[in-house]
Amino acid sequence: MKRLHYIAAALALLVIPVSSACAQQVMLTPGTLVLDGSARSGEITVGNPGGAVATFRVDDAFFIQGADGQLSAKAAETAGNSAHKLLRVGPRRFALAGGEGQTVRVAARVPRELAAGEYRLHLAVTNLAEQAARADVAQARHAASQSLGVVIPFNVARGVRVLLRHQVSPEGGRLAGLTRRREGADAVLAFDVQRLGATSLLASVVPFARGSDGRELKSWPAIGTSIYAEQSSRRFEARLPADELPSGASLCARLEHSDPGAPRLPAAEACAP
């Protein structure tokens, strides 16, 4: 396993939400690791952005996505599409000095009888020093409940999403059901993002204005979206300042795929009537 020094700004913060109180206690890259027929192994890098030595632990986690896109935890051993038994991960525990990084290797073991499909797992990385501090936070919260004071809880785990694709390929997604309406000072663009094929959809949607000549006149910040294989579509709304919309322009959306296992999937566009 490789250990290295890294530039903190180059490492992305990942997947499992945390408060700003500990946003720099674990750093990971990449955010999503895809394993398939052409690549059965890969690496993630864990970084310690703090100034002191810290011990880190890598655990398996599995999440189910609801219709609203929210994730809920489920035992990784019991989910039918869990990659828990199909991945070898190491090292699982290590110490890092401040500014140091550790390479964690992930390799797939695919039995001959494995059914075609996408198998999923999150690797949750915990800074154990900060985890110990959580106990102090719990005690402080109890003490605060007996007197005046405020305690902000935090979660110190970060996660990398691992997708193991066996005999299936990403087909991307499409946009449907676009509508526009005016609500006060906002122009509201509503749309469905539909997942195609048997794999998760990893993408973002860019709202934009299109002129009568077909040119793109203005765009707004992208909306990140992921749709796991248990969901076929999700409904989204983009609220845009109406005074920024060029006169007579159509309000449109562009679905840009960000799947690291399918870098050449074309974007899809649609406009509200």
- The residue among 210 and 23 whose pLDDT is bigger is 210
d(CA 93, CA 57): 4
pLDDT in tens, 66-91: 999 999 999 999 999 999 999 999 99
The residues of the chain that CATH labels 2.60.40.10 are 3-166, 173-271
- The residue among 19 and 3 whose pLDDT is bigger is 3
Fold adopted by 173-271:
Immunoglobulin-like (2.60.40)
Its pTM stands at 0.82
Fold adopted by 3-166:
Immunoglobulin-like (2.60.40)
pLDDT of 19 above 60: no
pLDDT of 189 above 90: yes
Name the pLDDT band for 11 (thresholds 50, 70, 90): very low
**Paired strand residues for 126:** 57, 157
pLDDT of 14 above 60: no
Give the pLDDT of residue 139: 55
- Mean model confidence pLDDT for the chain: 86
Give the pLDDT of residue 50: 86
pLDDT of 158 above 60: yes
The 3-state secondary structure of the chain, one letter per residue: CCEEECCHHHCCCCCCCCCHHHCCCCEEECCEEEEECCECEEEEEEECCCCCCEEEEEEEEEEEECCCCCEEEECCCCCCCECCCCEEEECCEEEECCCEEEEEEEEECCCCCCCCEEEEEEEEEEEHHHHHHHHHHHHHHHHHHCCCCCCCCCCCEEEEEEEEEECCCCCCEEEEEEEEEEECCEEEEEEEEEECCCCCEEEEEEEEEECCCCCEEEECCCEEEEECCCCCEEEEEEEEEHHHCCCCCEEEEEEEECCCCCCCCCCEEEECC
Give the pLDDT of residue 51: 87
